[in-house]
A and B are shown apart, each in its own frame.
Chain A
Amino acid sequence: MKLKDIVERLHLESATPRCGLDREVSGGYASDLLSDVMANSREGNVWVTLQVHQNIIAVASLKELSGIIIVNGRKAEQEVLAKAEQEDIPVMLTGLQTFEIAGRLCEIGIRGNTK
């Protein structure tokens, strides 16, 4: 499934208009610990988190994730979004909580990484 399908179906708000959403999503990972994401996310995963500081962009870029969904209606600073566009990491926003959005991602067919 492509990121743009997820954005449409789960009514996410795209916060980085300059980033293309036409990329394949390999699965999902939800965590707020950066080292955990470094260790356990996979290339192409969409990452669900409540962290909003710049370092999430560095992590997503290093792990080549397909995008970041920020939960709980939290907003990232303009600086963070600019960095995201520079690194070509789409950032999407939702008012839902992690549990809820992860459940909906599963519902539409996005799976976690099996060991």
Chain B
Amino acid sequence: MTKDRNFTKIQELTYELRVRDAMIADVVTVSPKQAIHNLRDVMREKHISGVPVVDEGRVVGLISIEDYIRCLAQGEMDVIIERRMTRDAETLYADEPLVHAVRKFEQYGFGRFPVIERNGQKLVGIITKGNIIKCLLRKLEVEYHEEEIHHYRASHIFEDIVADKTNLVLKYEIAGKDFDRAGQSASRLKKTLHRLGIRPEIVRRIAIVAFEAEINIIVFTDGGRLTVSVCSDRITIGASDNGPGIPDTEQAMQPSFSTAPDWIREMGFGAGMGLCNIRNCADEMSLASQIGKGTNLEVVIYLNGNEADKDVRRQNEAS
């Protein structure tokens, strides 16, 4: 019942990875005509507790240390393997997803499964639970490392680029009336800013600005774009469209003022809060609109400013 995020990630990996990725290809085998006593050296030297029995490349059975011990107790050391092995051994195909292997281990409770090619049925490897765990850990480590690299590379961009001033511009196209993809640009922007190493509380404010601006473009226009400019000290978010324009921008900024039609309101949009939310997150905000031409919104958020600076700036603007 307890499922945490890592468990989900591992589940995902077991679908992605193949049995081939986790198996051991260098597999020790015995032939059916060998005598049981041969197993002693094979198992002791290789530290293994079960061996596929192979005849002309095909798996004909499986013999384990338990079988060996039983024969030892019965004094059957000279009996040939064929007569004491488990026939019809369960096998896995090399190209099966790893999750099939996991299920098979749960289902049968065996320690190992021989792995065969789908075409030709030849033995190509062997897999144990230990192999699966090792393979998953290796894959998790690689993925974790890759995300670290993404994060590292991106967050050092401003230090690595040699210039008097660096300005990174990100553009996101927004299709009008496309409610299914609403919020997607804001999500992509958020992920990018996170990778750039921008502080989480700043990213949160920018995400709100971008989301509300995106929704406005989707609800009221036939499309537009977000242009986000990242400098070392500030992020500027521009939202522009060629839509119908806003007749009275002062009025549009009033809390709860909305011109959204009912069907938009039913979806939970159009509460008249969008521009207010933007203003509350912005250090600077300007809204310019021309009827029939379109609307341009520009918001500046300072990267190093704290809330106190923001208040001071607001007071300065007001005075």
Contacts and interface: CB of A to CB of B under 8 A. Distances in A.
Contacts, number: 87
Interface stretch (B5-13, B37-45, B288-296): B5-13
B182 interface: yes
Contact of A35 (B4, B190, B207, B271): B271
A38 B211 contact: yes
B268 A33 contact: yes
B273 A51 contact: no
A25 interface: no
Contacts of A88: 5, 8
A21 interface: yes
A4 B182 CA distance: 29
A35 B269 contact: yes
B11 A18 contact: yes
A62 B211 contact: yes
Contacts of B208: 38-39, 62
Contacts of B251: none
A53 B218 CA distance: 15
Nearest to B185: A58
B3 interface: yes
Given A34-B269, A38-B212, A53-B179, A62 B3 contact: no
B121 to A, nearest CB: 35
Contacts of B271: 33-36
B280 interface: yes
A97 interface: no
B167 interface: no
Interface in A17-66: 18-23, 32-36, 38-39, 43, 49, 51, 53-59, 61-64
Interface centre among A59, A62, A63, A64 (most CB of B within 10 A): A62
Interface string A69-81: 0000000000000
A3 to B, nearest CB: 11
A74 to B, nearest CB: 13
Given A55-B267, A58-B186, A62-B183, 14 more contacts: A19-B8, A20-B4, A20-B8, A21-B3, A32-B268, A33-B268, A34-B269, A35-B269, A35-B273, A49-B268, A53-B267, A59-B183, A62-B207, A62-B211
10 contacts: A4-B1, A18-B11, A19-B8, A21-B3, A35-B215, A39-B208, A55-B179, A58-B211, A62-B187, A62-B211
Interface of B: 1-5, 7-8, 11, 179-180, 182-184, 186-187, 190, 204, 207-208, 211-212, 215, 267-269, 271, 273-274, 276-277, 280
